[in-house]
Amino acid sequence: MKAFQFGSPKSLEQVTAYLAGADGDVRLMGGGTDLLGEIKEGTIQPDVVVDLKAVPGLAFIRRDADGLAIGACTAVADLAADPDVARDYRGLHEAAAVVASPQLRNMGTVGGNLCQRPRCWYFRDAATVCNKKGGSQCFAEQGRNKYHAVFGGGLCWSVYPSDLAPALIALESKVVVASPQGERTIPLAEFYAPPIVNVRKENILSRQDVVKEIRVPAPKKGDRGAYVKFMERGAWDFAVVSAAVKLTLAGNSISDVRIVCGGVAPVPWRLKAAEDALRGRTVSESAAAQAAARAAGDARPLAENGYKVDIFKAVVARAVLAAAKG
Ligand SMILES: Cc1cc2nc3c(=O)[nH]c(=O)nc-3n(C[C@H](O)[C@H](O)[C@H](O)COP(=O)(O)OP(=O)(O)OC[C@H]3O[C@@H](n4cnc5c(N)ncnc54)[C@H](O)[C@@H]3O)c2cc1C
């Protein structure tokens, strides 16, 4: 492992000043549960690692009339344990509660969860230079692709592994980004960028940007949510397929709905066709199954991952019904 400098700034201003002034490859660290793995695997060789957890005031969960504000360094475990989140944002609570293991939820931060890198075994292999690392090929496309994307592939067939991202996008959350130039607020849905935009990274952050906080709008009357995650193992595993649903019920009819999946595409994957199929319909098993089947029509599985399409249909339909049940 290459030696690197370790920066412990004491304010966000110091972090952004660090990013503006530093030479070489500078990486931000929340809990380090992903970043340190990348360094140890040799996927990245930073010159400087900046410890965000040393910065006071970045770990908080606050409620006000506008909704919820979550600091980037809030532990995933604290989000999962928050009683207001469990009551008002069920899908987010369910997503946080199934991230990794208790140890990783204690160390891992919300900001780090949203900025984590994909788990594709070719990308994580230091000796394999795929498109994502500046090469000219996605090795998964013709190689071993059991866990890879069934939507949005092409230049890269990795899947986005975060459990929190689909749940927060379904809730129409925004992300506050700090940089040496100041702060800006971006819808989380626009924070992720597909490989066609930039195959080297999954989000639109520049090297000088820091995720500062996430804002989740206050729930409206009739809003309900759920998060369903299918894993190969019973626990401590990434999603093979996950689905976050937020829907608004007027009586037994769905007046609005957002569905976002994890584990199926290089970025969190919104199911607009399924949403259109559900809007205005009465909640039922057949409506949920038809909507899921409509979304699955766009799937383009590879040689080894066709099984994911059936799981996708079941997970999406279950998440819709779980959300409607409240
Ligand atoms: C065995 C294992 C199982 C896992 N299972 C799951 C799972 O089931 N579901 C899931 O969602 N995740 C899972 N993870 C992934 C991940 O480690 C955790 O989700 C965790 O929340 C990441 O947070 P962190 O603070 O440790 O990130 P870090 O490792 O500190 O950072 C991750 C990335 O985000 C960047 N970053 C961190 N904070 C910021 C910020 N504020 N602004 C900008 N960039 C930032 C870092 O530079 C780095 O690139 C798993 C990890 C492991 C090792």
pLDDT at 85: 97
> Which run of H or of E encompasses 94?
helix 90-97
pLDDT score of 295 more than 90: yes
The Cβ of residue 223 has, within 10 Å, a number of other Cβ atoms equal to 20
pLDDT at 114: 98
Atom of ligand 1 nearest to the CA of 33: 26
Q: How confident is the model at residue 20 (pLDDT cuts 50, 70, 90)?
A: confident
pLDDT score of 272 more than 90: yes
pLDDT score of 224 more than 90: yes
pLDDT at 236: 82
CA-closest residue to ligand 1 atom 31: 112
Task: Note the residue count of the chain.
Answer: 326
The DSSP bridge partners found for residue 192 are 203
Q: C-alpha angle with apex 191: 189 to 194, nearest 5 degrees? A: 85
Contacts by 298-301 with C-beta closer than 8 Å and gap 24+? 298/151, 298/273, 299/150, 299/151, 299/264, 300/150, 300/151, 300/153, 301/150
The mean pLDDT value for 145-156 works out to: 97
The mean pLDDT value for 129-156 works out to: 97
The percentage of residues in the chain with a pLDDT greater than 70, rounded to a whole number, is 100
pLDDT score of 287 more than 90: yes
| Burial tier of 239 (Cβ tally within 10 Å: 0-12, 13-18, 19+) | buried
CA-closest residue to ligand 1 atom 37: 112
Ligand 1: distance of its center to the CA of 114 in Å? 7
pTM of the model: 0.98
Ligand 1: distance of its center to the CA of 30 in Å? 8
pLDDT at 235: 80
Q: Which of 182, 214, 186, 202 is nearest to 20 (CA)?
A: 182
